[in-house]
Amino acid sequence: MTDFASLLQPDKGQSATSLHPVDKAGLEPWLAGQPDRVRQAVSAQGFKGEAAQVALLPGEKAEWSVLVGVGDSASLGSWCLAKAAEWLPEGSYRLVGASAGAAALGWLLGQYRFDRYKSEPSPKGPRILLTDEPARIEESILLAAATGLVRDLVNLPASDLGPAELESAVREVASAGGASVTVTQGEKLRRTFPMIAAVGQAAEPAREPRLIEFEWGDRAHPRVAIVGKGVVFDTGGLDIKNASGMRIMKKDMGGAAHALALASLVMKARLPVRLHLLIPAVENAISGSAFRPGDVLRSRKGLTVEIGNTDAEGRLILADALTKAVEGEPELILDFATLTGAARVALGPDLPALFANDDALAADLLSAAEAAGDPMWRMPLWKGYHELFASDVADFSNASESPFAGAVTAALFLGKFVPDGVPWAHLDTFAWRATAKPGRPKGGEALGLRAAWGLLKARYGA
């Protein structure tokens, strides 16, 4: 894991290289006051003040400084320093004439690396940003570490992150925060969480399915449940995916990674809640003991589900986990899941689909998303589409036969396991970035995490 802890430090007048933020409109006026050598360097480097552009400026002697293009130099957005942090040489830097604000996070995440499988890891040393906002340091480092945890867990190949390794990752976070862990597997899992057991049974005994839970905090505090889909690899099961559909399915535990990272933020910030984390961890594999199309499962809640498609496995494991979450009588349930391709068709890779059975909760999440620069979009729990996953033999099917509204029917399926009076939000997130942007390399990504954290802080923070 990239260590972000020292990359943001209070400015005590240490020696540092200057960073000058300029936007496109501000470039000409800024250049007007500069000596020829600076103007020439700027034009030779093709610097136009576009967001994330960086140019090196010669000083009078050996010193040099940096010009950074930002979208709007009045209020720096999250990502406008990320490219500079990624690209500049090791050393300490100080912004001139501006505070980093939200851009502090981008400075940190611009230095995220996933190079554990590279024979020659990146040799670059730390780029330290000195800040005149010491109050922002801790929060920025916490958010960067939480994002780094999501990225690392998603980027790990399934060969090195099975259900057991996911359990170890949860135990590590739990022991750092002082949470108590419960893991259910084997015969007890089959008896008490039958749908988690069914989805995971093809991968047994090597990669045993399990429900990983932890609880943290004062029992007197409001109870909040966080649930994450932990499919360490999704082949589709007997309804096997094609090669391109399977290619990035190591990321199908992205919901679990988000849930764990959110839990770690809650604990590190000591938010006054009673936290219940639930991660059903399975591999949706193929073998002679795989669950089959047409099988009927009896869920923990007692509702029966006919398997219309073994590739609609996430909703099965989440249903049993949500049932357990509800039994704790929480005042809020949040779940994260890489649940449907249909959510990506509807909203593309960057916007998690938000479903909520409570308008105030949806509104609060959307405003936290806006404030955090971590967008999402609400979609409807449209009851009329229940009929799309009706079953001839069981209470309902796990998959709709219609090609329409796949993200909605998946969310409606989950909603069958959450009573109306329990405020619940479901984030169908991609957890992946197919093309790099500054501070956001290709690969695992946290999408919706900072928004959810903003919601919890707004509701329960001091």
Active-site positions read 241, 315
Question: What is the three-class DSSP state of 437?
Answer: strand
How does DSSP classify residue 240?
P
Q: Which listed residue (21, 162, 228, 314) binds Zn ion by CB under 5 A?
A: 314
The answer to the question of residue 234 lying near Mn ion (CB under 5 A) is: yes
Q: Which stretch binds ligand BES (CB under 6 A): 53-61, 163-171, 311-319, 437-445?
A: 311-319
Long-range contacts at 397-400 (CB < 8 A, ≥ 24 apart):
397/305, 397/306, 397/307, 397/308, 398/305, 398/306, 398/307, 398/308, 398/309, 398/312, 398/315, 398/316, 399/307, 399/308, 399/309, 399/311, 399/312, 400/308
The answer to the question of residue 167 lying near Mn ion (CB under 5 A) is: no
Cα distances (angstroms) measured from residue 376 to each of 349, 365, 368, 369, 370: 11, 9, 10, 7, 8
Q: Which listed residue (17, 131, 147, 338) binds ligand BES by CB under 6 A?
A: 338
For the chain, the maximum distance between any two Cα atoms, rounded to a whole number of angstroms, is 82
**Which residue shows structure tokens 């039958």?**
194
The C-alpha atoms of residue 93 and residue 70 are separated, in whole angstroms, by 16
Q: Which listed residue (309, 386, 395, 457) binds ligand BES by CB under 6 A?
A: 309
Q: Which listed residue (204, 313, 320, 374) binds ligand BES by CB under 6 A?
A: 313
CB of 16 to ligand BES, least distance (A): 43
Residues 152/1, Cβ–Cβ less than 8 Å:
yes
The answer to the question of residue 239 lying near Zn ion (CB under 5 A) is: no
Measured from the CB atom, is 21 or 448 closer to ligand BES? 448
Collect all residues with Cβ–Cβ distance below 8 Å to 197 and sequence separation of at least 6: 189, 190, 209
CB of 413 to ligand BES, least distance (A): 9
Cα distances (angstroms) measured from residue 194 to each of 97, 271, 280, 366: 60, 33, 11, 34
Considering only residues 358-417, where is the footprint of ligand BES by CB under 6 A? 399, 406
Nearest to 131 by CA among 9, 25, 292: 9
Residue 306 contacts which entry, Zn ion, ligand BES, Mn ion, none (Cβ below 5-8 A, type-dependent): none
CB of 440 to ligand BES, least distance (A): 18
Question: What is the three-class DSSP state of 402?
Answer: coil
Q: Which listed residue (152, 204, 208, 234) binds ligand BES by CB under 6 A?
A: 234
The C-alpha atoms of residue 67 and residue 55 are separated, in whole angstroms, by 5
Q: Which stretch binds Mn ion (CB under 5 A): 47-55, 137-145, 231-239, 349-357?
A: 231-239
Q: Which stretch binds ligand BES (CB under 6 A): 52-60, 68-76, 337-345, 367-375?
A: 337-345
Question: What is the three-class DSSP state of 101?
Answer: coil
- Give DSSP secondary structure letters for 103-115: HHHHHHHTT----
Residue 406 contacts which entry, ligand BES, Zn ion, Mn ion, none (Cβ below 5-8 A, type-dependent): ligand BES
Q: Which listed residue (23, 165, 311, 364) binds Mn ion by CB under 5 A?
A: 311
Number of residues that bind Mn ion (CB under 5 A): 3
CB of 242 to ligand BES, least distance (A): 11
Number of residues that bind ligand BES (CB under 6 A): 16
The answer to the question of residue 163 lying near Zn ion (CB under 5 A) is: no
Collect all residues with Cβ–Cβ distance below 8 Å to 42 and sequence separation of at least 6: 27, 31, 34, 55, 57, 67
Considering only residues 238-257, where is the footprint of ligand BES by CB under 6 A? 252
Binding site for ligand BES (CB under 6 A): 234, 252, 309, 311-314, 338-342, 344, 399, 406, 430
Binding site for Zn ion (CB under 5 A): 231, 234, 252, 314
